[in-house]
Amino acid sequence: MSVDANGYLTLNDAGLYCPAGDFHIDPLRPVARAVVTHGHGDHCRPGMGKLLCTPQTAAIARVRYGETAFGQIETLALGEVLRLGEVSIWLAPAGHVLGSAQVVIEGKHGRAVVSGDYKRRFDPTCAPFEPVACDLFVTEATFGLPVFTHPPIEGEIGRLLASLATFPERAHAVSVYPLGKCQRLIAELRRAGWEAPIYLHGSLRKLTDLYEQLGVAMGPKLDATAARKEEMAGQIVLAPASALRDTWARRLPDPVICAASGWMRVRQRARQGGVELPMVISDHADWGELCATILETGAQTTWVTHGAEDGLVHWARTQGLTAEALAIAGRENGAEGEAE
């Protein structure tokens, strides 16, 4: 398949490449220069010669991988323009997690936008998505099927708080991904009026502390591993899904196992995971939002990656648009599925 519709972007064995600027976007393996949309491990990988991203993503990359994981880290503030070879690039907010950005490429062929992962809902922990008019739009499609319609987050948080009121003797253990979902859930609980300390698994602490250092208030937090079992009754405990499937969860008093993910729309996933309280909370756009965003950009050409590509490609073609599935290996449904 030839994917070089506007002269800017093509595919090679490392993923999406811009020959005119000599850089890759979210490459699958180490390359000389990588422009990275956000800090999740299926987009930001160690070993790059030069890493270019927002300052927040740079801080996240350092915490996740260490100071020596990249040859050089360059940062670009949202809206700041940088010339690379024959093109100019700038970053626009993606609304996915703190520091997430769309990559905008401009030059003689027009404008291309690579969305990275994005959501269209309010999130108190990161800048909201901003649509950018373009000729070529490269969009994710994690939830690119009509069955995926995310409910308002306020209702999902309300269900958690109602369960806590109903079962005050039980801990409510919510599986979350360490980057983005954990911090968003904390912030939304605070917005809903939950003022008590939130207990965290140790693996969530570093990135949550980093969010606070970067100006995102989290409120009181306690170490779940060090806490007494009885003190966590009637409290909220956040942990990665793997910990809740492990002996670690035995320290919790009769826990209500919860999960915050867009995949909780698929009830079979909840049942298979032993989830008693599934919460449909996603950091990705749902089907309607993906479709609306494509139209909002005004792009006549859409490339689809990272998820249910074929369904979104078919829909785009019914709108009279040119659309192709990139089918990048390793991007079929996102390597960090717990982040969704």
Same domain, 143 and 289: yes
Nearest to 102 by CA among 72, 73, 78: 78
Asked whether 62 and 54 are in contact (CB, 8 A), the reply is no
Place of tokens 């949309």: 37
- What is d(CA 200, CA 208) in angstroms, rounded to the nearest whole number? 9
Q: Judge if pTM exceeds 0.85.
A: yes
Shared-domain flag, residues 102 and 193: no
pLDDT higher than threshold 60 for residue 337: no
Residue 105 has pLDDT above 90, yes or no: yes
Q: How far is CA 186 from the centre of its chain?
A: 16
Mean pLDDT of 276-287: 98
> Tokens 């479709």 sit at which residue?
291
Mean pLDDT value of segment 274-280: 97
Looking from the CA of 89 toward its CB, the CA atoms found within 13 Å total 28
The residue among 224, 257, 279 that closes a domain is 279
- Do residue 59 and residue 79 come from a single domain? yes
d(CA 56, CA 322) in angstroms, rounded, equals 34
The pLDDT, as a whole number, for residue 112 is: 97
Q: State the Cα–Cα distance between residues 340 and 333, nearest whole angstrom.
A: 10
Q: For the chain, what is the radius of gyration of the CA atoms?
A: 20
Token pair in block for residue 194: 């939950």
Residues across the chain: 340
Instruction: Note whether residue 1 is domain-resident.
Output: no
DSSP H or E segment with residue 25: strand 23-25
Q: Are residues 142 and 170 in the same domain?
A: no
Q: What is the mean pLDDT of residues 60-73?
A: 97
Question: Residue 306: CA atoms inside 13 Å, Cβ hemisphere, count?
Answer: 25
| Mode of pairing for the β-strands spanning 322-325 and 301-307 | parallel
**98, 124 in Cβ contact below 8 A?**
no
Give the per-residue pLDDT at 333. Answer: 53
Q: 313, 294 in Cβ contact below 8 A?
A: no
Instruction: Verify that 163 and 287 share a domain, yes or no.
Output: no
Does residue 336 surpass a pLDDT of 80? no
Same-domain pairing of 173 and 318:
no
- CATH number of the domain at 38, please: 3.60.15.10
Average pLDDT, the chain: 94
* Sign of the CA dihedral running 234, 237, 242, 247: negative
- 332 vs 191, residue with greater confidence: 191
Query: Would you say residue 56 has pLDDT above 90?
Result: yes
Range of the domain at 316: 10-147+283-325
pLDDT digits (tens, 9 = 90+) for 145-194: 999 999 999 999 999 999 999 999 999 999 999 999 999 999 999 999 99
Q: Tell which of 241, 257, 279 closes a domain.
A: 279
The 3-state DSSP class for residue 187 equals helix
Report how many domains make up the chain: 2
Yes or no: say if 325 and 309 are a contact pair by the CB < 8 Å rule: yes
Residue 116 main-chain phi, psi, to 5 deg:
60, -160
pLDDT band at 332 (very low <50, low <70, confident <90, very high): low
Residue 307 CB contacts under 8 Å (≥ 6 apart), including other chains: 140, 141, 142, 143, 144, 331, 332, 333, 334
What is the model's pLDDT at position 172? Answer: 98
pLDDT at position 328? 76
Q: What is the pLDDT of residues 69-103, one digit of tens each?
A: 999 999 999 999 999 999 999 999 999 999 999 99
Is 55 among the domain residues? yes
User: What gap in Å lies between CA 312 and CA 157, rounded to an integer?
Assistant: 29
Residue 265 lies in a domain: yes
What residues contact 64, with CB distance under 8 A and at least 6 apart? 39, 41, 44, 179, 207
Torsion of CA 4, 79, 71, 332, to 10 degrees: -50
For the chain, percent of residues with pLDDT exceeding 90: 91
- pLDDT digit string, tens, across residues 193-213: 999 999 999 999 999 999 999
Residues 122 and 15 placed together within one structural domain of the fold: yes
Question: What's the CATH number where 254 sits?
Answer: 3.40.50
The answer to whether position 261 is within a domain reads yes
Please check whether residue 275 lies inside any domain of the structure.
yes
Task: Tell whether the model's pLDDT for residue 5 goes beyond 60.
Answer: no
Residue with tokens 């100019």: 88
Query: Is 122 in the same domain as 74?
Result: yes
Whether residue 2 is contained in a domain is answered as no
Give the pair of three-digit tokens for residue 137. Answer: 């739009």
Residue 15 lies inside a defined structural domain of this protein: yes
Q: Could you tell me if residue 268 is inside a domain?
A: yes
pLDDT at 109 (0 to 100): 86
Intra-chain end-to-end CA distance of the chain, in Å: 29
Q: Are 114 and 143 part of one and the same domain?
A: yes
On whether both 182 and 253 belong to a single domain, the answer is yes
Give the tens place of pLDDT for each residue, 304-321: 999 999 999 999 999 999
CA diameter of the chain: 65
Whether 167 and 287 map to the same domain: the answer is no
Quick one: 135 and 233 in the same domain?
no
